[in-house]
């Protein structure tokens, strides 16, 4: 056995707190280590060449690289091994950066720890055997979850590359939050004018299958071979027959809250979300329908000229196979009411959210583009905008910045001046965050051209007085308290991941944070990948972002999917379980615990029934290894002996 | 490890807590230096005997950390782990090990700060307990009892002998 140890300095990232020379010389004292050296940047081209040269010179058969996290560079150095003619799995990475040099300041302590960690790596690699990947075929179809602008962009890009796409949307129409916006910053482009043509393109694309009112129920499988259950919920309307004439909506006697319009105005129990909906198909919501509540009605069925209404319609469950999945579930606004009782907690009708205001600005919205106070329908003259409601507020445990609030407040202030000549707008802000092309200029335009008065400070209280709302805040730049009498108050509420993002993440086995935002694999270098192979992120489901960023990320995710599916076969990880058939007692405890049904029963010539691992299904979790009573199943790369050696070595 | 100091071993799931520890490092969150991390694919890969083996070999504390229940990368591995580790933690006193020396927790990839806090609080819990004096452990042991598990050889030692 000939082990080489390479201790990376990572410039000063490691060398500033760990004496890499001392670690290397200590490694030389370890059993089977024939060569050890310290390298300035091991991952660089000269660094890798140094490793390869040493591997040849000292005839190494095993290598330990003490550097950054294996999550960062394990594949890099596995490739180096292949170039050096060593099996890639005969290399063990030891994390002396994230787990050592970056968290300790005492050189002595950090160096001692690094020596320990290297000894663990050496102990583990001693027990390593060469492993070889096998290949599995890749399914050529793609699933996209979420039909907002991110999902639409990704679907069109992938479909244009010739790959079949299934776009699953929870709601009755695609378009997402962008379809609810009136204008977009900083160009004041009409949001629906730029979005709806793309929505129609999705509907007519030969490679896209659109499934609305549908949700992902279960996900099985792995990269290249996912099997997904999709539930298409009943809407009591036959999608193929409905022509979108809206006669049912006109005649329906049951009123229902208007979710698309963020609760501004009302709609009917059977309705179409908005005039440009794709698909343009009515949806019946049973919880608001007189027939389902009281058992008497049936008007929509009678008036429908296409005979599309079907009260007996049931949910459909589809099971489909996909090679890759793009998650584009977007965002929703933080519900501010509980957290801000001092803003009325939702009791004052004239304190509204920015999305409600946006719907009023929209010409196709519930007010036809007329801004009015919800309390009395009057046109407001004095309008106050509050930024960071539920953002950057440690007092309610929400330190995150929504990233778009400053910009859409500026947009709404400009639009307000256009809608209501002679109106006055006030903006209470924390900081103006306008870091984008043309963004800062746009905010200045709100102040100079639209005359918005910007006051730097938080608002402490809002209360009603004589039909108006008194907004009590501070102007911290002047150092004075400020009181504004407003007709309407608009809250720029913070942004959360869409409801259900967390439970979807659980189904997909991808990590997420406390706000439900899904985690990318690496914040800099793998921004659209997740830690689960074959699952990619696009748009605000990963973190709040504006439309250009969302579209860019969606195209990036599409590119990653296209790269993945351009291969007919994929290499699988060989770090999977194997059974020692000689000693297997045939109890099949392993089969009971295996989450992937990767264990099957096989008869041997001597008549014994033994467990066999199906290599293409095993994902290498190691549950069977622990469950096996005679301990004859080993997880390659993490065998019992390797782990015991690793632990024993460091405690010696 | 330098003598006299306590020795802590952490068994971490690659998909969540190990990445969380990476994040704590990337964010330069200072932590005590006694922890030695062993990377595993899943907490479900942890045989309780491995934890006992660590104590037997001289660990003064063992910390296991995996994905939050419901978030397992392999769907259900941490459910198996939770049952085993909970049982194991209740058995600690029987083995003559103060229960505070063993802890299991759930830390996700995005919870770097939580990892740093966990390492700090665990180290501060074990430090006052000092070195573990486990009766019947180690090759130099002559069979006489000196530790808290007086009167009997540690079952851990017996079972791990295979």
pLDDT tens per residue across span A85-114? 999 999 999 999 999 999 999 999 999 999
pLDDT of residue B148: 44
Indicate whether this complex's ipTM tops 0.90: no
Take residue B68 and report the two structure tokens written for it: 């939050």
Query: How many whole angstroms separate alpha carbon A45 and alpha carbon A486?
Result: 64
Q: What is the mean pLDDT of residues A251-268?
A: 94
- Which chain A residue has the Cα nearest residue B50? A644
% of residues, chain A, pLDDT over 90: 93
pLDDT of residue A486: 97
What is the DSSP secondary structure assignment for residue A177, as one 8-state letter? G
Give domain A577-636's CATH number out of 1.20.1530.20, 3.40.50.720, 3.30.70.3270, 3.40.50.1240.
3.30.70.3270
Q: Which residues of A touch B156 (CB under 8 A)?
A: none
Fold of B8-160: Rossmann fold (3.40.50)
Across the A:B interface, residue pairs with CB atoms under 8 Å apart total: 154
B79 lies within 8 A of chain A by CB: no
DSSP sequence for A240-263: TT-----HHHHH---EEE-TTTTT
* pLDDT category of residue B126 using cuts at 50, 70 and 90: very high
Fold of A142-233+315-331+497-565: FAD/NAD(P)-binding domain (3.50.50)
CB atoms within 10 A of CB A566: 11
CA B14 to chain centre: 16
CA A517 to chain centre: 6
Q: What is the mean pLDDT of residues A58-78?
A: 96
Q: How far apart are the first and last CA of chain B?
A: 26
Burial A89-125 (b: 16+ CB within 10 A, else e): bbbbbbbbbbbbbbbbeeeebbbbbbbbbbbbbbbbb
A651 lies within 8 A of chain B by CB: yes
pLDDT of residue A522: 83
CA A268 to chain centre: 33
% of residues, chain A, pLDDT over 70: 100
Q: Are strands A488-493 and A382-389 parallel, antiparallel or unpaired?
A: parallel
Cβ–Cβ below 8 Å for A621 and B108: no
The candidate with the shortest Cα–Cα distance to A388, out of A544, A251, A234, A513, is: A544
Q: What is the mean pLDDT of residues B76-91?
A: 95
Query: How many whole angstroms separate alpha carbon A569 and alpha carbon A185?
Result: 44
Cβ–Cβ below 8 Å for A112 and B2: yes
Q: What is the Cα Rg of chain B in Å? A: 16
Take residue A167 and report the two structure tokens written for it: 């776009």
Can you tell me whether residue A133 is helix, strand or coil? coil
Residues 525-544 (A) with a CB less than 8 A from some CB of B: 531-532
Structurally, what CATH architecture does the domain formed by A3-126 represent?
3-Layer(aba) Sandwich (3.40)
For B73, residues 6+ apart whose C-beta sits below 8 A from its C-beta are A509, A531, A532, A621, B13, B14, B15, B16, B41, B42, B67
Take residue A402 and report the two structure tokens written for it: 């929504």
Cβ–Cβ below 8 Å for B45 and A651: no
Where are any strands of DSSP class E within A233-363?
Answer: 255-257, 266-268, 270-271, 283-284, 316-322, 324-327, 331-333, 351-353
Take residue B42 and report the two structure tokens written for it: 């899943």
Closest CA–CA distance from residue A334 to any residue of chain B (Å): 20
- Which chain A residue has the Cα nearest residue B61? A651
Q: What are phi and psi of A198, to 5 degrees?
A: -70, -35
Query: How many whole angstroms separate alpha carbon A246 and alpha carbon A186?
Result: 35
Query: How many whole angstroms separate alpha carbon A332 and alpha carbon A515?
Result: 11
Q: What is the mean pLDDT of residues A368-391?
A: 96
Q: Domain extents for chain B?
A: 8-160
Cβ–Cβ below 8 Å for A650 and B9: yes
Residue A242, judged by CB atoms within 10 A of its CB (0-12, 13-18, 19+), counts as buried
The answer to whether the bond into A279 is cis (omega within 30° of 0) is yes
The residue among A103, A227, A531 with the most chain B CBs within 10 A of its CB, best to mutate, is A103
Q: What is the mean pLDDT of residues A628-650?
A: 96
Q: What is the mean pLDDT of residues A303-318?
A: 96
- Which chain A residue has the Cα nearest residue B19? A71
pLDDT of residue B160: 44
Take residue B72 and report the two structure tokens written for it: 């397992």
Cβ–Cβ below 8 Å for B74 and A621: yes
* pLDDT category of residue B138 using cuts at 50, 70 and 90: very low
Residues 65-94 (A) with a CB less than 8 A from some CB of B: 69-72
pLDDT in tens, A125-142: 999 999 999 888 999 999
Q: Identify whether the C-beta of residue A104 lies closer than 8 Å to the C-beta of residue B33.
A: yes
Cβ–Cβ below 8 Å for B30 and A648: no
Query: How many whole angstroms separate alpha carbon A568 and alpha carbon A564?
Result: 9
B25 lies within 8 A of chain A by CB: yes
Q: Identify whether the C-beta of residue A488 lies closer than 8 Å to the C-beta of residue A424.
A: no
Residue A287 above 70 pLDDT?
yes
Q: Which residues of A touch B44 (CB under 8 A)?
A: 593, 621-623, 626
Residue B31: which of A103, A519, A644 has the nearest Cβ? A103
The residue among A511, A524, A577, A598 with the most chain B CBs within 10 A of its CB, best to mutate, is A511
Q: Identify whether the C-beta of residue A38 lies closer than 8 Å to the C-beta of residue A128.
A: no
Give domain A335-493's CATH number out of 3.50.50.60, 3.30.1330.40, 3.30.450.20, 1.10.3720.10.
3.50.50.60
Q: Identify whether the C-beta of residue A401 lies closer than 8 Å to the C-beta of residue A361.
A: no
Residue B67 above 60 pLDDT?
yes
Q: Identify whether the C-beta of residue A332 lies closer than 8 Å to the C-beta of residue A324.
A: no
CA A316 to chain centre: 27
* More confident call, A538 vs A571: A538
* pLDDT category of residue A509 using cuts at 50, 70 and 90: confident
Query: How many whole angstroms separate alpha carbon A637 and alpha carbon A87?
Result: 13
Q: What are phi and psi of A108, to 5 degrees?
A: -60, -50
Vertex B69: Cα angle to B67 and B70 (nearest 5): 100
What is the DSSP secondary structure assignment for residue A42, as one 8-state letter? T
Residue B44: which of A106, A112, A622 has the nearest Cβ? A622
Residue A449, judged by CB atoms within 10 A of its CB (0-12, 13-18, 19+), counts as exposed
A650 lies within 8 A of chain B by CB: yes
The candidate with the shortest Cα–Cα distance to A620, out of A601, A640, A594, A644, is: A594
Q: Identify whether the C-beta of residue B5 lies closer than 8 Å to the C-beta of residue A650.
A: no
B1 lies within 8 A of chain A by CB: yes
Please tell me the pTM assigned to this model. Answer: 0.82
Can you tell me whether residue A275 is helix, strand or coil? coil
Q: Identify whether the C-beta of residue A556 lies closer than 8 Å to the C-beta of residue A526.
A: no
Q: Are strands A331-333 and A459-465 parallel, antiparallel or unpaired?
A: unpaired
Of A349-353, A408-412, A530-534, B21-25, which range is least confident? Answer: A530-534
Take residue B152 and report the two structure tokens written for it: 């009997």
Q: What is the mean pLDDT of residues A506-519?
A: 89
- Which chain A residue has the Cα nearest residue B59? A651
Q: How far apart are the first and last CA of chain A?
A: 21
- Which chain B residue has the Cα nearest residue A101? B25
Q: Domain extents for chain A?
A: 3-126, 142-233+315-331+497-565, 247-303, 335-493, 577-636
Residues 116-155 (A) with a CB less than 8 A from some CB of B: 116-117, 120
For residue A101, CA distances in Å to A27, A240, A351 come to: 18, 63, 51
Return the residue matching tokens 């027939």.
A291
A227 lies within 8 A of chain B by CB: no
Cβ–Cβ below 8 Å for A99 and B42: no
Query: How many whole angstroms separate alpha carbon A250 and alpha carbon A256?
Result: 13
Residue A186 above 60 pLDDT?
yes
Residue A121 above 50 pLDDT?
yes
Cβ–Cβ below 8 Å for A638 and B40: yes
In A469-565, alpha helices (H): 501-508, 547-565
Q: Which residues of A touch B41 (CB under 8 A)?
A: 575, 620-622, 635, 638
Residue B147 above 70 pLDDT?
no
Take residue A400 and report the two structure tokens written for it: 């995150």
Q: What are phi and psi of A25, to 5 degrees?
A: -70, -30
Residue A518 above 90 pLDDT?
yes
pLDDT in tens, A140-164: 999 999 999 999 999 999 999 999 9
A616 lies within 8 A of chain B by CB: no
In A66-132, alpha helices (H): 70-83, 107-126
Take residue A36 and report the two structure tokens written for it: 């050890």
* pLDDT category of residue B103 using cuts at 50, 70 and 90: very high
Residues forming beta bridges with residue A571, ordered by sequence position = A135
Cβ–Cβ below 8 Å for B44 and A626: yes
CB atoms within 10 A of CB A72: 18
The candidate with the shortest Cα–Cα distance to A490, out of A601, A591, A405, is: A405
Residues forming beta bridges with residue A393, ordered by sequence position = A398
pLDDT of residue B153: 43
Cβ–Cβ below 8 Å for B110 and A511: yes
Q: Identify whether the C-beta of residue A142 lies closer than 8 Å to the C-beta of residue A166.
A: yes
CA A370 to chain centre: 36
Q: Which residues of A touch B22 (CB under 8 A)?
A: 69, 71-72, 95, 98-99
Where are any strands of DSSP class E within A417-467?
Answer: 424-429, 453-456, 459-465
Return the residue matching tokens 């501004």.
A264
Residues 29-48 (B) with a CB less than 8 A from some CB of A: 29-31, 33, 36-42, 44-47
Q: Which residues of B touch A520 (CB under 8 A)?
A: none
* pLDDT category of residue B136 using cuts at 50, 70 and 90: low
- Which chain B residue has the Cα nearest residue A510? B73
Residues 92-151 (B) with a CB less than 8 A from some CB of A: 108-110, 116
pLDDT of residue A573: 87
Q: Identify whether the C-beta of residue A139 lies closer than 8 Å to the C-beta of residue A569.
A: no
pLDDT of residue A136: 87
- Indicate the average pLDDT of chain A: 95
B91 lies within 8 A of chain A by CB: no
CB atoms within 10 A of CB A163: 19
């Amino acid at each position: 056995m000939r082990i080489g140890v390479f201790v990376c300095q990572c410039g000063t990232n490691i060398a500033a707190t760990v004496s890499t020379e001392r670690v290397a010389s200590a490694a030389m004292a370890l059993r089977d280590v024939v060569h050890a050296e310290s390298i300035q940047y091991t991952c660089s081209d000269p660094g890798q060449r140094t490793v390869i040269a040493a591997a040849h010179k000292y005839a190494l058969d095993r290598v330990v690289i003490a550097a950054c996290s294996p999550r960062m560079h394990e594949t890099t150095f596995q490739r180096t091994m292949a170039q050096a003619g060593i099996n890639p799995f005969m290399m063990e990475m030891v994390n002396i950066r994230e787990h050592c040099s970056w968290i300790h300041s005492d050189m002595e302590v950090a160096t001692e720890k690094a020596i320990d960690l290297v000894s663990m790596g050496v102990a583990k690699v001693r027990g390593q055997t060469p492993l070889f990947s096998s290949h599995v075929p890749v399914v050529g179809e793609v699933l996209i979850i979420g039909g907002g602008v991110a999902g639409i962009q990704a679907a069109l890009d992938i479909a244009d590359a010739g790959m079949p796409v299934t776009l699953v949307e929870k709601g009755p129409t695609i378009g997402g939050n962008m379809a609810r916006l009136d204008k977009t910053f900083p160009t004041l482009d009409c949001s629906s004018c730029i979005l709806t043509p793309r929505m129609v393109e999705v509907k007519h694309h030969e490679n896209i299958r659109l499934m609305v009112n549908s949700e992902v129920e279960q996900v099985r499988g792995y990269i290249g071979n996912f099997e997904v259950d999709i539930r298409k919920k009943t809407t009591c309307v036959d999608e193929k027959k409905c022509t979108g004439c809206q006669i049912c909506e006109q005649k329906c006697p049951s009123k229902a809250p208007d979710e698309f319009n963020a609760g501004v105005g009302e709609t009917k129990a059977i309705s179409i979300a908005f005039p440009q909906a794709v698909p343009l198909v009515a949806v019946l919501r049973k919880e608001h329908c007189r027939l389902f509540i009281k058992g008497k009605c049936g008007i929509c069925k009678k008036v429908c000229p296409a005979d599309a209404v079907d009260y007996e319609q049931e949910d459909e469950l589809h099971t489909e196979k996909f090679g890759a999945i793009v998650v584009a579930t977007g965002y929703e606004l933080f519900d501010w009411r509980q957290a801000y009782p001092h803003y009325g907690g939702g009791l004052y009708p004239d304190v509204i959210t920015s999305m409600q205001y946006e719907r009023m600005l929209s010409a196709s919205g519930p007010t036809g583009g007329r801004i009015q106070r919800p309390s009395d329908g009057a046109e407001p003259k004095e309008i106050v905008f509050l930024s960071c409601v539920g953002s950057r507020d440690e007092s309610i445990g929400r330190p995150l910045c929504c990233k778009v609030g400053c910009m859409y407040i500026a947009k709404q202030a400009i639009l307000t001046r256009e809608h209501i000549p002679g109106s006055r707008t006030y903006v209470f802000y924390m900081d103006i965050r306008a870091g984008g092309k043309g963004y800062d200029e746009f905010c200045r335009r709100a102040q100079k051209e639209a005359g918005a008065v910007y006051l730097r400070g938080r608002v402490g209280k809002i209360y009603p007085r004589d039909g108006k709302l008194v907004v009590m805040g501070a102007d911290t730049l002047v150092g004075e308290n400020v009181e504004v009498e407003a007709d309407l108050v608009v809250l720029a509420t913070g942004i959360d991941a869409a409801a259900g993002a967390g439970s979807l993440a659980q189904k997909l086995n991808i990590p997420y944070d406390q706000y439900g935002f899904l985690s990318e694999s690496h914040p800099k270098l793998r921004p659209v990948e997740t830690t689960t192979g074959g699952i990619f992120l696009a748009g605000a489901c990963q973190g709040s972002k504006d439309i250009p960023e969302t579209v860019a990320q969606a195209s990036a995710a599409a590119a990653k999917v296209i790269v993945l599916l351009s291969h007919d076969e994929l290499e699988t990880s060989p770090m999977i379980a194997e059974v020692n058939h000689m000693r297997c007692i045939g109890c099949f405890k392993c089969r009971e615990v295996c989450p992937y049904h990767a264990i099957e029963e096989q008869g041997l010539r001597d008549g014994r029934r033994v467990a066999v691992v199906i290599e293409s299904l095993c994902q290498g979790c190691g549950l069977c290894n622990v469950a096996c009573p005679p301990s004859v199943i080993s997880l390659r790369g993490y065998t019992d002996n390797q782990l015991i050696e690793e632990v024993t070595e460091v405690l010696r | 490890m330098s003598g006299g100091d306590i020795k802590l071993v952490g068994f971490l799931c690659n998909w969540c807590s190990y990445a969380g520890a990476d994040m704590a490092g990337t964010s330069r969150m200072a932590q005590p230096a006694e922890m030695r991390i062993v990377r595993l694919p899943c907490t479900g890969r942890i045989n309780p005997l491995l934890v006992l083996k660590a104590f037997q070999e001289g660990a003064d504390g063992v910390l296991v950390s995996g994905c939050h229940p419901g978030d397992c990368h392999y769907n259900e591995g941490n459910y198996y782990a939770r049952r085993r580790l909970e049982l194991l933690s209740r058995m600690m006193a029987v083995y003559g090990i103060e229960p505070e020396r063993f802890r299991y927790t759930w830390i996700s990839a995005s919870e770097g700060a939580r990892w740093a806090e966990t390492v700090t609080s665990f180290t501060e819990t074990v430090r006052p307990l000092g070195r573990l004096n486990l009766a019947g452990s180690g090759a130099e042991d002559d069979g006489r009892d000196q530790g808290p598990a007086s009167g009997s050889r540690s079952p851990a030692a017996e079972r791990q002998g295979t």
